Amino acid sequence: MTYLLMIRERIKSFYSRYEGFCNPALKFILAFIAFRMINKNINFAAVLTSLPITLILSLLCSFFPMNFILVMSVLVILLHLYALSLETVMITGVIFLIMFLMYFRFSPKDTILLIMTPLCFVLKIPYVIPICAGLVAAPTSVISTGCGVVTYHLLHYIAGNSSALMTQEDEPAFALEKLRVLIDALMSNREMQVEVAAFAITILVVYIIRRLPVDHCWTIAMITGMLIDIVVILVGDLRFETRISIVGLIIGSIMALVVAIILKFFIFNVDYSRTERVQFEDDEYYYYVKAVPKNTVALTEKKVKKIKGSEKAPAAAEETDLDPDNPLKDAPEYRLRRSGSTAGNKNRTRRIRIPEGIKDNKT
């Protein structure tokens, strides 16, 4: 556990130190994944599916706020649908406008939920969204997740019925018929309605439980939310015959629980064994406070200490005045010189220069 806490602290430290680089990089990755998913599922405009265009749009989104990714994603979707038919663009644009008005009015800070909900549906893990939204968001996030569910099912229907919606006749009767078919398909989609209701109920239940002043409230909220989500979807399946995969529902719910546990580890990792209850008062109130410490670990910082060696004193001049009391104290350094050897003469002579003061003492 200590090792995991150290990893968490290092990740937080790295992010706080390089936040100016991490935020654009994360927005670039999110925008790139969103555009690739859109191009893969509704690839009606071949120009937009090219990799250079996707990279340019993703790079542009990395320098703007998160809502800019949402706006560019809607623009890419409408351009794809324009290549399909004008009627599809009109009805989709009206639906997006209504959802945007609701989103910007009630939950303008839940951009990540609105973007991640369709992506999680494509990745077959949609049940991650309501549990995580209930843990970290507000009750108004039911609007952003509901808009994400509607967006996925709308685009899924258009991609599956593109041949019927493609523009072939210019008569107004055919255009009105396409509009009617698209609206009826959206309003009669029971699976979408059941998922919107299940996600909303799950978010509210998880939010209420995780704010209760009880021990392990986040763990209780995650497990309860997973069970509530499964029960509501199963009841809706029995009532409206939505034909939802039961195996996929159970596996997706378990994966949602795992992701929620990881999220809890990074956001709300506390030690209930060291809980303290504090009571104090002022002139008007008595205060009863329950303090639960966080699980933290101090990172050891490596400090490198440089040790410099003592510098050698420069050699004294050859001719110096010697201390009469200690003639060797200020004596210059002896220098050994070797005479050059001649050919065939292996003997070498060493010449040593003795200071004058030493000579006088010897004499």
What letter does residue 337 receive in the DSSP assignment?
Answer: E
CA dist list (Å): 245 to 125, 143, 188, 241: 13, 25, 19, 11
Looking at the DSSP bridge assignments, the partners of residue 338 are 350
Q: In the chain, which ranges are continuous DSSP H helix?
A: 2-17, 19-41, 51-61, 66-84, 86-106, 111-122, 128-136, 141-160, 162-165, 172-187, 190-210, 217-240, 246-267, 356-362
- The residues spanned by each domain of the chain are 86-269
How much is the pLDDT for 174? 66
How much is the pLDDT for 334? 45
- Burial of 87-98, coded b for 16+ CB within 10 Å and e otherwise, reads bbbbbbeebbee
Q: Report the predicted TM-score, pTM, of the whole model to 2 decimal places.
A: 0.76
How much is the pLDDT for 316? 46
How much is the pLDDT for 201? 95
How much is the pLDDT for 363? 44
Q: Do 59 and 87 form a contact (C-beta atoms < 8 A)?
A: no
* Cα 184 from Cα 171, distance rounded (Å): 21
Q: Is 65 left (phi over 0), alpha (psi -120 to 50) or beta?
A: beta
- pLDDT by residue, tens only, the chain of 363 residues: 777 778 888 888 888 888 889 999 999 999 999 999 999 888 888 888 889 999 999 999 999 988 899 999 999 999 998 888 888 888 888 889 988 888 888 888 888 888 999 999 988 889 999 999 999 988 999 999 999 999 999 998 888 887 777 755 555 666 677 777 778 888 888 889 999 999 999 999 999 999 988 888 999 999 999 999 999 999 998 888 888 888 889 999 999 999 999 998 888 888 788 888 888 888 888 888 888 888 777 666 666 666 665 555 555 444 444 455 555 444 444 444 444 444 444 444 455 555 555 545 444
User: How many Cα neighbours within 13 Å face the side chain of 14?
Assistant: 7
How much is the pLDDT for 308? 65
Contacts of 239 (CB under 8 A, 6+ apart): none
Looking at the DSSP bridge assignments, the partners of residue 311 are none
* Cα 135 from Cα 178, distance rounded (Å): 41
What letter does residue 270 receive in the DSSP assignment?
Answer: B
